[in-house]
């Protein structure tokens, strides 16, 4: 699978994908419930954080962008604050908005989820499911017909919010047929005839039941229902997602392959279908077999359900997963750009990023305890590691004792360390400026006003945490004791 993943996302063949469908703003209000309101017998939520994220077709586009694809998004938003938030989030992801039209007659589809102690309490939807204004539908149809020849593939994300009307779908499938371009559809509703012309479909079991009117109790029921859907739509591939049971990929010529779930820690399934559709799409567009594309989609789903809310999967996360490494036993030494990509994904999902830095020469028990405490402060620990040249400037030419490559490997073996970034400057100021962590951690041997990057973190709403160090543990002391003990004693010719 890793070979296939590298093939479809190589620099020379990076897919260019057109995404069209219903654009949604997902918002998460998180907090703690500790008392009952005196006004009514309802819990009082003390809000601690609000996170806004891309949903629906926008989330599909974000997943594609996070995996290195060139993406153009087509859809509709309202002329409102939610629409402005969507546009801003899409711009941050580097997604082309030239196909996103503003319809002043309708609100932006907005889903507000309220979570207490990490559990969903309530969802509030603001939307209309009526068809988008005809003049905008005509513009969309004209745009996709003209644009599709420029793309490697098209993904239609249908949430039944009014964008993917029959005329638009006909324009998509007609243009795909003329240019031999594949269209992958995440379908909804009971009328699958309107998807006739799609190359691949990604429904879940419940959606297949709605489309066929069948009750699916076992594999035989599923096989019969999928055969009906394939006949109805003329699709060549269907990936049926089955929650904890995994997925089954179907195709013409008796293709049927069950793929067991890859999820290790299920935190939130919101948006997982968007990730599946995105990854299956780029696999098929890149020319790899349907089974391999479905296996990649399954791996991506296993990663994304371990994150809060609608989320994306990065290329680095997929590569680590495909190497069959545990969640934090990764290739941990990364570039600043790579770690900023991961940090952005964690921030989108309301998680706290912790940063600390140091030389970590001759790693000892005090270091380990310090790093474990730092990791406990948040959800991701990034360590800025002084490169050899940086340490030499501070401590002299005889330090470090252990070279940077070895120090990085030793740090990376610690479960509590998620990522390591080397820096050659005397201080990690530029790292902190780029990463902007939620929590900056240093040892309590520093005064708060001495900590580099404190102002950067606090101005962004984060805070500094000073941790008490283990008494009697110091690399410099260890080095000095070794040196003062003289040359090693030799007994019977052996050291």
Residues with catalytic roles? 274
**Interatomic CA distance for residues 69 and 155, integer angstroms:** 13
Q: For residue 386, is the peptide bond before it cis, meaning its omega torsion is within 30 degrees of 0? A: no
DSSP 333: B
The beta-strand segments (E) located in 243-330 are 247-251, 255-259
How far apart CA 417 and CA 151 sit, in angstroms, is 40
Tokens of 267: 């935190």
Beta strands 16-21; 43-56: pairing state: unpaired
How far apart CA 47 and CA 211 sit, in angstroms, is: 40
Tokens of 164: 């993917």
C-alpha to C-alpha distance for 193 and 108, rounded to whole angstroms: 28
Note whether 56 and 302 are within 8 A (CB): no
Look-up of token digits 């907090």: 31
Cα–Cα dist 408/387, whole Å: 10
Strand-strand pairing, 16-21 and 153-157: parallel
The residues near 247 (Cβ < 8 Å, ≥ 6 apart) are: 239, 240, 241, 258, 259, 261, 276, 294, 297, 298, 301
| Coil vs helix vs strand at 202 | coil
Strand partners, 73: 19
Number of H helices and E strands in the chain, helices first, is: 17, 18
Angle, helices 219-233/205-212, rounded to nearest 10 degrees: 60
- What are the CA-CA distances from residue 380 to residues 363, 366, 368, 376, 377 (Å)? 21, 20, 16, 9, 9
């Amino acid at each position: 699978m890793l070979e296939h993943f590298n093939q479809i996302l190589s620099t020379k063949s990076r897919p260019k994908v057109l995404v069209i469908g219903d654009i949604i703003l997902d918002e998460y209000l998180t907090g703690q419930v500790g008392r009952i309101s005196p006004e009514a017998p309802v819990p009082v939520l003390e809000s601690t954080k609000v996170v806004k994220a891309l949903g629906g077709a926008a989330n599909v586009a974000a997943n594609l962008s996070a995996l290195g694809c060139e993406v153009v998004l087509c859809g509709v938003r309202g002329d409102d604050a939610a629409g402005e938030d969507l546009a801003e989030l899409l711009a941050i992801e580097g997604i082309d908005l030239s196909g996103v039209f503003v319809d002043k007659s309708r609100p932006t589809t907005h889903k507000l989820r309220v979570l207490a102690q990490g559990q969903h309490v309530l969802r509030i939807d603001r939307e209309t499911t009526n068809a988008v204004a005809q003049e905008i539908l005509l513009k969309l149809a004209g745009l996709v017909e003209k644009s599709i020849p420029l793309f490697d593939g098209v993904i239609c994300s249908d949430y039944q919010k009014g964008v993917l009307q029959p005329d638009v779908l006909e324009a998509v499938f007609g243009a795909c047929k003329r240019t031999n371009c594949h269209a992958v559809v995440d379908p909804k509703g009971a009328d699958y005839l309107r998807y006739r012309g799609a190359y691949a479909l990604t429904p879940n079991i419940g959606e297949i039941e709605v489309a066929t009117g069948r009750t699916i109790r076992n594999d035989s029921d599923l096989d019969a229902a999928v055969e009906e859907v394939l006949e109805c739509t003329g699709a060549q591939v269907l990936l049926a997602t089955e929650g904890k049971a995994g997925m089954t990929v179907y195709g013409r010529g008796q293709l049927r392959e069950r793929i067991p779930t890859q999820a290790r820690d299920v935190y939130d399934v919101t948006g997982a279908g968007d990730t599946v559709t995105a990854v299956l799409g780029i696999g098929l567009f890149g020319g790899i077999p349907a089974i391999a594309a479905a296996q990649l989609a399954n791996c991506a789903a296993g990663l994304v359900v371990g994150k809060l809310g609608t989320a994306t999967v990065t290329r680095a996360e997929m590569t680590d997963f495909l190497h069959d490494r545990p969640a934090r036993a990764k290739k941990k030494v990364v570039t600043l750009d790579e770690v900023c990509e991961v940090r952005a994904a964690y921030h989108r999902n309301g998680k706290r990023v912790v940063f600390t830095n140091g030389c970590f020469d001759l790693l000892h028990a005090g270091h380990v305890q310090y790093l474990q405490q730092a990791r406990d402060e948040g959800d991701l620990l990034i360590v800025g590691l002084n490169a050899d040249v940086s340490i030499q400037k501070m401590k002299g030419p005889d330090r470090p004792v252990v070279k940077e490559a070895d120090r990085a490997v030793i740090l990376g073996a610690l479960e509590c360390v998620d990522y390591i970034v080397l820096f050659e400057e005397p201080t990690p100021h530029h790292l902190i400026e780029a990463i902007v962590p939620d929590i900056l951690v240093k040892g309590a041997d520093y005064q708060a006003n001495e900590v580099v990057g404190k102002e950067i973190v606090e101005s962004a709403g984060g805070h500094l945490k000073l941790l008490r160090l283990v008494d009697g543990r110091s690399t410099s002391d260890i080095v000095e004791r070794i040196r003062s003990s003289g040359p090693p004693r030799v007994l019977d010719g052996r050291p």
